[in-house]
Amino acid sequence: MQSFTYERAASAEQAAAAVAARPDAKFISGGTNLLDLMKLEIERPAHLVDISRLPLDRIEETAAGGLRVGAQVRNSDLAADPRVRSRYPMLTQALLAGASGQIRNKASTSGNLLQRTRCPYFYDRNMPCNKRQQGSGCAALQGFNRMHAVLGASEACIAVHPSDMAVAMAGLDARIETISPGGETRTIPIGDLHRLPEATPHVETALGHGEMIAAVTLPPPPPGRQVYRKVRDRASYAFALVSVAAIVEKSGDRIRSARIAIGGVAAKPWRATEAERTLAGAAASDGAFTDAAEAALAGAVGHDGNDFKIPLAKRTMRHTLAAAAESA
């Protein structure tokens, strides 16, 4: 770990300004990902601005009937909030499917969104990795890539975003509120927060240096039944091979609307808009769910080790949609 200086931010504006003032500064909150990366010297910040004690730890009702989740709300608290449990059950399911109890107690909402990929080549400084070291190549492309992306990847990077929470939030059309060093704020749809790798996998989000996430706003819960289904290699404490967040709204035997986000398949939570279109107005049937799954994975590309994710994602989506439609 490289030596660093540390300050505790007094306010959101001051935190943003403090990071913006130094190119080698970073925000730290729960530290559940950053500290690991610093020990391995994959992250080498010279200055840390601690935002974990900022008064951004509230969950508030919005005028529109949704919830505004402060960036510093811990994952455990968000999962346990009665309003989240009753109105956004798939968010609670996703949070509780992630990490371990200890990690969820430390991890913040914004930190969860901004956690970095667990690609083992990214984690290994001896290995080529375009995300860690621009232009060095991608060892995963022809390597051990069982956990890697089948959608939206590039020749430069096939890493996935590991969050469960973000997948549920993508399905819920969450919006990200940020604050910039000058104090100005802006709102980013969650679908625009993470970037696909293209030729610049080291650029992971739309945030500028020093721009800090202040809150995540959840619109009023959409009609329909919500289900989050995570498929993993063991029962607990494993990243998703594939996950599906689905909300199905029915009218009689027909589907009125559906929202679907897939995790474990791309560098961002993957919103399956084609599949959603396929389902709108269709009869709630095995055939419709199968068609939707085919549509969602139509552009998927495997790299040998992760080929199985394509049929796995389809099968998972099919039965998750069926589960969401069952009593919707």
Task: Round to whole Å and give the CA distance between 119 and 158.
Answer: 9
Nearest alpha-carbon partner for 182 in 13, 12, 25: 13
Piece of 64-72, 117-125, 215-223, 246-254 that binds other proteins (CB under 8 A): 117-125
Q: What share of the chain is helix, strand, coil (3-state, %, to 5)?
A: 30, 25, 50
3-class SS of residue 116? coil
45 binds other proteins (CB under 8 A): no
Give the residue, chosen from 80, 144, 188, 195, that forms a contact with other proteins under the rule CB under 8 A: 144
Piece of 55-63, 83-91, 197-205, 315-323 that binds other proteins (CB under 8 A): 315-323
254 binds other proteins (CB under 8 A): no
Task: Round to whole Å and give the CA distance between 225 and 322.
Answer: 11
Give the nearer residue to other proteins in terms of CB position, either 84 or 139. 139
Sheet hosting strand 185-189, strand order edge to edge: 59-61, 67-70, 212-218, 175-179, 185-189
Pairing type for strands 175-179 and 185-189 reads: antiparallel
Cα-Cα-Cα-Cα dihedral of 117, 186, 103, 88, to 10°? -110
233 binds other proteins (CB under 8 A): yes
Give the residue, chosen from 47, 50, 57, 120, that forms a contact with other proteins under the rule CB under 8 A: 120
Q: Degrees (nearest 5) of the Cα angle 226, 229, 235?
A: 140
Piece of 5-13, 69-77, 124-132, 245-253 that binds other proteins (CB under 8 A): 124-132
How many C-beta atoms lie closer than 10 Å to residue 247's C-beta?
26
- Closest contact distance (angstroms) between CB of 85 and other proteins is 21
Piece of 50-58, 64-72, 135-143, 182-190 that binds other proteins (CB under 8 A): 135-143
Piece of 87-95, 172-180, 231-239, 261-269 that binds other proteins (CB under 8 A): 231-239
Give the residue, chosen from 17, 127, 213, 215, that forms a contact with other proteins under the rule CB under 8 A: 127
Give the nearer residue to other proteins in terms of CB position, either 126 or 327. 126
Binding footprint of other proteins on the chain (CB under 8 A): 1-3, 39-41, 118, 120-121, 123-124, 126-127, 139, 142-144, 146, 231-239, 241-242, 286, 289, 308, 311-312, 315-316, 318-319, 322
